Chains A and B, each alone.
Chain A
Amino acid sequence: MVLIKRIPSPLLTNKFNQYLIVILVIALTALLCRPLYNQQGYYIVSFILLFVVSIMAVFLGIGPILVASTISSLVWNYFFIPPHFAFHIERTEDKLMFGSFFFIALINGVLTNRIRRQEELALEREERTNAIFELTRELSNSGSVSEILDVAFKDMRKFFDVSSFCFLKEKENAVEILARKGTENENSRVDYKIAEWVFKNTIKAGRFTDFYSETDLTYYPLTGKQMNPGVMAIEFKKPLSVENEIFWAGYLTQISNALEREHLSELALKARLLGESDRLYKTLFTLFSHEFRIPIATIMGASDTLLISPATDADRTQLTMEIFKASARLNHLVENLLNMSRLESGKISAHLDWCDINDLLNNVTKVLKQELQQFDMLSTIPADMPLVRLDFGLMEQVIYNLILNSCQYAPAGSTISFEAAYRDGNLVLVIEDNGPGFPSELLDRAFDKFFRVDSSKAGGLGLGLSIVKGLTEAHKGVVKVENLEKHGARFTITIPTSIPDMKNIDLEI
C-alpha cells in the first residue's frame, strides 16, 4: 500500500498527468534555452536539459522519466545540434555527444528515481514501525475491549488513513455470534454475511481477495492463540503489496492478542466471582438453615405440644410466649434481609425531614424496652440540641440496630450509652457498650455483610451492622467502630446536616 500522505498532490498521482508534465516541462525548457543557445552554443543546453530531467526524476515515476530522457535527447538533437530541425547529425563528435546525452539522461533519471523510491520505502517502513509501536504501547494501556478498539481504529485512521470496522465474537444462547463494534457510523457499508464467513473459515475475504470481492472492504479474521476474537474489516484504496500484506498480518495480530488477553482476563474474573459466590452461597445456606430452623422448630414444637397434650395454664402461657418470641425473631431476620436487599438494589433513598433526636432515641428505646431492661441506658443529648435533617424511619433502624447489637454482646447489668451532638455542620452520634468489643484483626470487617464474630452468642444473620452502614451512607454519612481502652465497642456516626433557622419561629404565638 502507498502512504497517502507522502504524495503531495493528486496532479502527480495520475500517470497521464505525469507524461503530460514531462512533455510540457521539456518543451518549456527548450523554448527558454533558445536565447541561451544563440549566445553560448548547444552544449550548455544539454546540461540544462539533463538537470531538468534529474529534477523531474525526484517527483515522477519511472515511466515518465524514461520518456523524459528520450524526448529531451530528441529535442536537443532536433532543435539544437546542427543541422537544426533535422534528426540527422553530421559531425562524429556530435553523434557521440548525442549518444552520451541520451545515456546519461537515462541513467541519471533512473538512479534518481530509484533513490527516491528507496527513501519513500524507508519512510513508509518507519511510519509502519511508528504505527505498530504506538498501537502496541496504547494497547498495553487499554483496560477494556472498547478501549482496545478505540485505540486500533484511531491508529489505523492516523497512520494509514483507512476506515475500519470490527466484529467481535459474542455468545448468545451458546451460539457464537458476531456483534459489530466501533465508532464508525457508516453501518450500511459493512456486510455481516462476509464477516460471518470470514470468522467461520478464518480466511480473508472481500475487496482485493478471492472471495466476495464485489465489496468496498477487506475482511480479515482476527486470530488468537486460544480463541479467535472476531473479524476486522478495513477499507483499503489499493491492493496491498506482499510486504504490506505481511505488515498487516502482524498489525492485526497485535489487535487480536490484545482482544484475546482482555477476553481471557474477563473469563478469569468471572470464574473468580463464580467461586466467591459459590462460597458465599454455602456460608449463607448454613447460616440460614441454622438461623431460621431454630425459631421454626420452637414454633412447631410449642404449638404441637399445645395441640396434643393437656397442659397447665402456666405451661400454656409459657409455650405461647415461646411461640411469640420465636416469631418475633423470624420477623427480625426477614426484616433485615428485606432491608439489605433494598439497600443493595439502591431502592432506599433518604427522605430528609426535620427530626428531633430525643424523639428518635425515645422511639427506639420504646421498641427495645424488653431488651434494655437488663441494662443501664445512659443518654446524653444537649438541651440545645438543634433539629437535624434526617430520614426518621431510616435513622430509627440505624440506632435500633446499634443498641440491639450492644444488648446482644454486652454483659447484663452493664451500661449502654448514647450521645448526640451537633458539631461543624455534622450530626455526631456515639453509641458505646461494655461488651467484649471486636477482635482487633476483625475490626475492619465489622460492617461486612453476613459477618459474625465466630464466638458470637447472639445469632442472627450478621446483617445488622451492614444495614447500619448502608443507611448511614444513604444519609451521606459515615459510621466507624473502635474498641474502647478498657473493653467494649464504640460506634460513631457522622452525618452532614443543616439545622433550621429558628429566628422565624415565634414560640410565644
Chain B
Amino acid sequence: MNESDLILIIDDEIQIRRLLEISLASNGYRTIFASEGKDGVTVAATYNPSLIILDLGLPDIDGLDLLVNLREWFTKPIIVLTVRNSEDDIISALDKGANDYLTKPFRSGELLARIRTAIRLSMEKTDSQILEFGSLSIDLVSHIVRKNEEIIRLTTTEFSLLSLLARNQGRVLTHQFLLKEIWGYSYLEQTQYLRVFIAQLRKKIEDNPSKPELLITESGIGYRFGN
C-alpha cells in the first residue's frame, strides 16, 4: 500500500474534519478538505486524490447529485458517509458508484479498514488466479474451492456468488447487484434466492455457519466478503 495516499474529505462539519485529519494522518495518509460540494469538485479535479470521503448531507448540494457529478470523470474510490436509518440513500449511493459507505457515528478503525480495502481494490488488477482467505482458497479459473485443503463441492450458482463476493473482498455488494449479476434482471425482486444460496454457502465454507465471518450480512443493503 502506498502510505502517502492523498484523501479528499468533503464534509461541512469542522469537528469531523479535524478528527478525520488526525486519525488519517496518524495512519500515514495525507488529507485535503472541502466544506462544500462545489469546492469538492474543484479540489478533486485539481489534486486528483486517491480516495474521496463524501458526506451525503452537504449544505449546498445533495450528496447523491454530487456523487453522480464526480463519477462522470473520477474513477478512484469514493466512500460515502450517511446518518443512520437511511438504507434507501445508501443503496442509491452504491448504485450511483460509491465504493462503500459508513453510517455516522462510526469508529475510526472501521473507516481506516474501509479506506484500505477500497484503495487496494482500486489498485489491484485481479490477475491472480487463486484467492486465499485463511483456510479457504478459491481457484477462479478451475472453479475449485478448498477449505482446509479439502475440496468443497459447490454448484455453479454457489460458485458464481462466492467468487463475485470474494473478488470484491471488503466491499459491500447490494442485493440488487448480486441478483442482477448471478440470476439476471428478471430476478431483481427475488431476494429469497439470494438468502437461500448465501445460507447454503455459509454451511459449506464458514467455520461456524451461525456466526459467519466470510459472508457478512449488511442489514437491509446487501452482503460483504469479510476481511
Contact = CB atoms under 8 A, between A and B. Distances in A.
Interface of A: 327, 331, 335, 338-339, 342, 351, 353-356, 358-359, 362-363, 365-366, 379, 387, 391-393, 396, 500, 502, 505, 507-509
Interface of B: 84-85, 87, 105, 155-157, 175, 191-193, 195-200, 209-212, 217, 219-220
Contacts of B196: 387, 502, 505, 507
A331 B105 CA distance: 8
Contacts of B85: 338-339, 342, 393
B211 A355 contact: no
Given A362-B212, A509-B157, A356 B220 contact: no
Contact of B210 (A358, A393, A507): A358
Contacts, number: 59
B199 to A, nearest CB: 6
A507 to B, nearest CB: 6
A29 to B, nearest CB: 92
Given A359-B195, A396-B219, 12 more contacts: A327-B105, A331-B105, A338-B84, A351-B87, A353-B220, A354-B192, A358-B199, A387-B192, A391-B220, A505-B196, A507-B200, A509-B156
B195 A356 contact: yes
| Majority secondary structure of chain B interface residues (helix, strand, loop or mixed) | helix
A495 to B, nearest CB: 17
A331 B199 CA distance: 32
Contact of A500 (B87, B156, B192): B192
B37 to A, nearest CB: 25
Nearest to A508: B155
B177 to A, nearest CB: 15
Contacts of B198: 356
Nearest to A367: B219
18 contacts: A354-B192, A358-B199, A358-B210, A362-B217, A366-B211, A379-B210, A387-B195, A387-B196, A393-B87, A393-B220, A396-B219, A502-B192, A502-B196, A505-B196, A507-B197, A507-B200, A509-B155, A509-B157
B195 to A, nearest CB: 5
Listed from nearest, the 10 A-B pairs whose CB atoms lie closest are A500-B192, A393-B220, A354-B192, A359-B217, A354-B191, A392-B220, A393-B219, A356-B195, A509-B157, A354-B195
A363 B175 CA distance: 17
Contacts of A363: 217, 219
Residue with the greatest number of chain A CB neighbours at <10 A, chosen from B85, B192, B198, B217:
B192
A505 B217 CA distance: 21
Nearest to B211: A362
A356 B199 contact: yes
Nearest to A391: B220
A363 B220 CA distance: 11
A392 B87 CA distance: 11
B219 A392 contact: yes
Contacts of B197: 507
Contacts of B217: 359, 362-363, 392
Nearest to B202: A358
B224 to A, nearest CB: 12
Nearest to A396: B219
Contacts of A355: 195
Contacts of B84: 335, 338
Nearest to B209: A358
Nearest to A501: B192
Contacts of A396: 219
A396 B200 CA distance: 22
Contacts of B199: 356, 358
A387 B190 CA distance: 12
B192 A505 contact: yes
A327 B175 CA distance: 33
Contacts of A391: 220
B140 to A, nearest CB: 19
